[in-house]
Structures are given as C-alpha cells and as structure tokens.
Amino acid sequence: MHAGPAPEERWHAPWITGNKLHQYLGIGSLVAAGLAAFSAPGDDEGGSGDGEGGGFHHTAGWTAAILGGAAVGTGLVFHLDDIRLRDGFLDPDNLHALLGIMATAAYFAAVNKAPGSGHGSMGELGAVAMLVSIKLAW
C-alpha cells in the first residue's frame, strides 16, 4: 500500500509578533484606563480616599500610562516607516500615531495630577484618544 505524500502541517500565525505586541499594549492601556475610570479612589483597599499611595484605582491609572508608553514605544520601533509627515496629519497612520501619543500624554498627566481635581477628565480624554487610535488601526 502506498502512503502517498505526508499531510502538510497547518501553518499557524505566531502568537506574538512586534505588531501584535504593539496592539496588545495599546488595548491593555485602554482596558486599564477603563478600570481606573470605573473604580472610585475612595474604594481602594487600604487607601485613604485621597488617591495617594496605592490601591486599585491608583494602580490601574499607572498601568494605563505605562502600557500606553510601551505601546507608543513599540509603535515607533515597528511602524516608524509608516509615519510620513508629508502625508499630513489626517493620514490614518499619522493620525493613529498622533492620537496614541496624545492618549499616553493624557494618561501621564492624569496620574501626575492625581489626586487633584480634573485628573479624571484627563484620564478619560486619554482613553477616548486611545480608543480612536486603536479603531483607526483596525
């Protein structure tokens, strides 16, 4: 009996690539920002309600900022050749990069302004900018 050719192995896309890492970091920052937005600073375990020193809200805010920064960094490393200023700011790649940078800047402004008033608005602005940035890329 002739066995014939061996069945071809199915190709599977790698679970992690530079582009996927960039995507996961951006989405992670958005999720963390959402968690920070929906957790009140006064509800932090062991927190005093003043936003200082730890707790879930504090950690989620800093996580959003750090993941956003990492998303911007990986975007510059893996997609720098996609950004061309001669195409103008309304080019989807340029707008994606600009909104991602603005989102991350707003996240960092929010966590650095906390616990002062207005830091929530900065965080929410960052989340909206990150959402639009991600939507443009998909």
> Do residues 109 and 124 make contact, with C-beta atoms less than 8 angstroms apart?
no
Domains, the chain, with CATH or none: 18-40+54-137 (1.20.120)
The pLDDT confidence band at residue 9, using thresholds 50, 70 and 90, is: confident
Which residues have a Cβ under 8 Å from the Cβ of 12 and sit 6 or more positions away?
none
| Nearest one of 22, 20, 31, 96 to 63, comparing CA atoms | 31
Mean pLDDT confidence for 67-73: 98
| Residues 87 and 77 sit within 8 Å (Cβ to Cβ) | no
Per residue in 78-126, pLDDT (tens digit) is 999 999 989 998 999 999 999 999 999 999 999 999 988 889 999 999 9
| Signed CA dihedral, 19, 25, 69, 34: sign only | positive
Q: What is the mean pLDDT of the chain?
A: 88
Rounded to 5°, the CA angle 12-135-58 comes to 95
Residues comprising the chain, all counted = 138
pLDDT score for 6: 58
Q: How far apart are CA 98 and CA 96, in angstroms?
A: 6
Alpha helix stretches (DSSP H) within the chain: 18-37, 56-79, 92-113, 119-137
Going by C-alpha positions, the residue among 115, 127, 100 that lies closest to residue 30 is: 127
